Chains A and B, each alone.
Chain A
């Protein structure tokens, strides 16, 4: 919305160029992204993304909520990976509180986060292929995504806005049959990835649209703040799950796919291989799932079980106090980053010792990744812009917050 005022942002630099407006309702912009393009014939001379259409002021809203009330807001930032946002936020608050999380809760969080990553990558793969003219992949991807959403519904009652994690653990025990369903999904999912790859990886049309298109060097990617597959596609080996582990990721063995070419195809390959690695992590999490509680032993922070509230006075009092007054968090500040499907998702939380956060800042991976778009597109053909936008996997809700 920032540039809907009469002053045009981009003025034609030379007589032979013209300004083309793309979006904010263009089907290939994945939300409401507006892109201003200065084109010379079919060649993009300059490019300027315009964002802010989905700005809802979530950071400001957080300052008026109790710590536990922020969890549902974090879902709404990135609607394709709600669990990753939940996780990042609760990890940051737990770090401020100094809470120890029981192993079962940590493993469940890892399991659900990897399912979220698969979910997000499936939407990306389907829509990215759709943008470039491959309709079938979209239908295949959404078939498997539907199963993941049903699993989310099983644990949290919600398909997309899950809000399943809590400060100090997770909300509920997963219902009976959940692990069997995940096990079943994990057993057949790799063959589905083969199906997608059969349709795309060797497809000459796909290769022509993606190979050597929208190339970005490793130096540029680092300088522009790119993270996630956008960075790894340019040959920089950085994955926070492995390099700065959180929530027990150090217990899992997985490879980090890296490609050297820095083009759309390299980013595609990174994400498709991540699908396979994520399902391996899911399998490891299922096999080694520890027994024990799912909530930390911190009665002033974690809501008591319903059963206890009916029999124990203290549980009822703590429940009442947490709901009405929240819980005070010691003064201080933390920055917690996790590897979201799109890159480094970071929460910077400042506490002044009260029950409401003094400041919550979300470092959005897409926000930084979007800056690489002009670098990828300038000097290239107009049709490649669509491929480039798809390849950085943007979610406008996360960018605008």
Chain B
């Protein structure tokens, strides 16, 4: 099947405006990048995600002014266990980019994006609810889909699909 191999060499990907901008801003924050199936993924250091998003949003070249989605992937039992995934969209350039932050399984926390995009509010609450990841600086970090007194985080891989009592 005609899938092109993914490009993971950061130097090859520097022509992409988002990668170039982030490397120019803080090269230590960019841990890697991947171009696979026409989609760009950038791995960022967990301490820089909020500032990196603000940079991408305000940069005229990138103009990633819209936060499409925030979600998470659990790679249990490997560490770092969680990947928080952000999908950004540029309304003017019609482009997407995916940002990823890796978090350890032990009390995972990352900065909230609500000060950059207020719309991150519900998405982060959902990730908190279903994965148990804390978003520091979130104005109202409570369960959103599950009942308030629920124990556990259902989308974690160590949470069974059925037979939970």
Residues of A within 8 A of B (CB): 1-5, 7, 51-52, 55, 57, 59-61, 63-64, 95-100, 222-226, 236, 238, 243-244, 298, 330, 332-335, 337, 344, 346, 348, 350, 358-359, 361, 363, 367-368, 370-371, 400-401
Contact = CB atoms under 8 A, between A and B. Distances in A.
Given A335-B69, A348-B71, A2 B161 contact: no
Contacts of B129: 2
A361 B118 CA distance: 21
Contacts of B1: 97-99, 298, 330
Contact of B147 (A52, A222, A346): A52
A222 B87 contact: no
Q: Across chains A and B, which 7 residue pairs bring their CB atoms closest together, nearest first?
A: A225-B119, A98-B3, A363-B69, A52-B145, A98-B1, A224-B119, A5-B148
A225 B66 contact: yes
Contact of B94 (A243, A344, A400): A243
A224 B87 CA distance: 14
Given A1-B147, A52-B146, A236-B91, A367 B161 contact: no
A222 B66 contact: yes
Q: How large is the interface on B (under 10, 10 to 19, 20 to 34, 35 or more residues)?
A: 35 or more
B13 interface: no
A38 to B, nearest CB: 15
Contact of A344 (B37, B68, B148): B68
Contact of A2 (B2, B6, B147): B147
Given A222-B65, A223-B119, A361-B69, A95 B145 contact: no
A98 B5 CA distance: 12
Contacts of A57: 154
B142 to A, nearest CB: 7
Contacts of B87: 335, 346, 348, 363
Interface string B38-73: 010100000000000000000000000111110101
23 contacts: A2-B144, A4-B147, A52-B144, A52-B145, A52-B147, A60-B154, A60-B161, A61-B161, A223-B117, A225-B68, A225-B120, A225-B123, A333-B41, A335-B87, A346-B69, A348-B87, A350-B73, A358-B73, A359-B73, A359-B74, A363-B68, A363-B87, A367-B126
Given A346-B69, A363-B87, A2 B145 contact: yes
A52 B150 CA distance: 12
A332 B8 CA distance: 13
Given A346-B68, A348-B71, A359-B74, 11 more contacts: A2-B144, A5-B147, A51-B145, A64-B162, A332-B37, A334-B39, A335-B96, A348-B85, A348-B87, A363-B87, A367-B126
